[in-house]
């Protein structure tokens, strides 16, 4: 048989599309919205056959449910969807960010107020880390805020042990690879030195990988002995006391989550155009020098000499000639006022009690009794 009359190959059937009702959503998302757990944890629960819909156990998360379906987890009916809520929590050191710890260590969820609903954390903080931790009753929101694509900056105050090299910190702006793991741009700035061995840094990241700051600092030769998260996107730790929890107002939550541009991003390195040669990256020492120059340029300038500043402080900003003219002008005004008062028969000036008129400005004359001169 010639090639012109070959039997066409059978077409591969297209995968079946899942039909989504107008008011339906995936089962894992529905469970996350109820605040039971995150969406990924819900998928694992489904695979473990712990979730049932209308009495039928599921073994795959490829299921769409509506408000008319009855969902149970471990035999307990799924609660109704609650309005999305978010809290700020000041996590102290020594608490584990998990609901159940196999080693029996204390968890932060055991320390929350009893009247709080079941919540999950947005990301995690290590056992010895402290500071701001966001809590929510919406697992889908927690997953969304954890993603690096959200672009929210996590800002930390970090105390390290070691002789800090600012040039090395500046080099983190282009990212770094540690033990085969690639970390994105990190903004690390020396805040102050404390004694001979410690220093405080301000570190901002967007990815939030596992123990990212500790591993990067160890790569630079510093040991982190304290790590405090002070901001997560637009939400700040502020003066929230340690161990305290405070709900974020619904209006503020909507404003922050509804904006197209949320928190400022850590500057990303520019990719060179393929048509042009790659420009030379500035050295860390040059970055430090440029930062110092910008601080000097942004500071308010005072071009006056030392003598001019001393003169201005004593005379209110006028030189001696200007002050003499001002004093002479004031004396002339006072003299003019005195002469005008004499011409009007000694009319008293404002603010002085009225008395007998003194002709010519002399002493008062004798009183005249009416009718005696007639």
Active site residues: 126
Q: 39-47 and 139-146 are packed helices; what angle lies between their axes, rounded to 10 degrees?
A: 120
Q: Between β-strands 245-247 and 86-91, what pairing exists: parallel, antiparallel or unpaired? A: antiparallel
- SS3 of the chain: the string is CCHHHCCCCCCCCCCCCCCCCCCCEEHHHHHHHCCCCCHHHHHHHHHCCCEEECCEECCCCCCEECCCCCEEECCEECCCCCCCCEEEEEECCCCECCCCCCCCCCEHHHCCCCCCCCCEECCCCCCCCEEEEEEECCHHHHHHHHCHHHCCCEEEEEEEECCCCHHHHHHHHHCEEECCEEECCCEEEEEEEECCCEEEEEEEECCCCCCHHHHHHHHHCCEEEEEEEEEECCEECCCCCCCCEEECCHHHHHHHHHCCCCCCCCCCCCCCCCCCCCCCCCCHHHHHHHHHHHHHHHCCCCCCCHHHHHHHHHHCCCCHHHHHHHHHHHHHHHHHHHHHHHHCCCCCCCCCCCCCCCHHHCCCCCCCCCCCCC
Q: Considering Cα of 31, then 33, then 35, then 38, what sign does the dihedral take?
A: positive
Which residues is 72 bridged to in the sheet?
52, 77
Closest listed residue to residue 84, CA positions, set 152, 145, 171: 145
């Amino acid at each position: 048989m010639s090639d012109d009359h070959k039997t066409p190959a059978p077409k591969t059937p297209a995968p079946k599309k899942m039909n989504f009702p107008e008011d339906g959503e995936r089962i894992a998302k529905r469970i996350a919205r109820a605040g039971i757990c995150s969406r990924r944890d819900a998928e694992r629960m489904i695979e473990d056959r712990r979730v049932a819909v209308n009495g039928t156990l599921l073994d795959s998360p490829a299921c769409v449910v509506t408000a008319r379906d009855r969902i149970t987890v471990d035999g307990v009916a799924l609660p109704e969807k609650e309005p999305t809520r978010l809290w700020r929590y000041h996590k102290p050191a020594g608490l584990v960010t998990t609901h159940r710890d196999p080693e029996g260590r204390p968890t932060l969820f055991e320390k929350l107020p009893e009247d709080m609903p079941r919540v999950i954390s947005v990301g995690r903080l290590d056992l010895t880390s402290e500071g701001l931790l966001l809590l929510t009753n919406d697992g889908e929101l927690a997953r969304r805020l954890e993603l690096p694509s959200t672009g929210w900056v996590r800002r930390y105050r970090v105390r390290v042990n070691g002789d800090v090299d600012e040039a090395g910190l500046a080099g983190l702006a282009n990212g770094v690879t540690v033990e085969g793991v690639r970390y994105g741009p990190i903004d690390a700035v020396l805040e102050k030195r404390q004694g001979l061995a410690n220093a405080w840094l301000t570190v901002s990241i967007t990815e939030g990988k596992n123990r990212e700051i500790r591993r990067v600092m160890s790569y630079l030769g510093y040991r982190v002995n304290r790590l405090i998260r002070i901001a997560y996107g637009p939400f700040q730790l502020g003066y929230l006391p340690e161990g305290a929890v405070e709900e974020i107002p619904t209006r503020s939550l909507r404003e922050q989550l509804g904006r197209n541009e949320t928190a400022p991003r850590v500057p990303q390195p520019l990719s060179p155009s393929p048509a042009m040669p790659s420009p030379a990256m500035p050295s860390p020492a040059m970055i430090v020098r440029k930062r110092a120059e910008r601080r000097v340029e942004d500071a308010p300038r005072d071009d006056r000499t030392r003598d001019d500043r001393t003169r201005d402080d004593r005379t209110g900003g006028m030189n001696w000639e200007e002050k003499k003219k001002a004093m002479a002008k004031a004396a002339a005004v006072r003299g003019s006022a005195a002469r005008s008062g004499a011409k009007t028969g000694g009319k008293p000036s404002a603010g002085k009690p009225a008395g007998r008129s003194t002709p010519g400005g002399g002493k008062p004359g004798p009183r005249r009794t009416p009718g005696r001169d007639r």
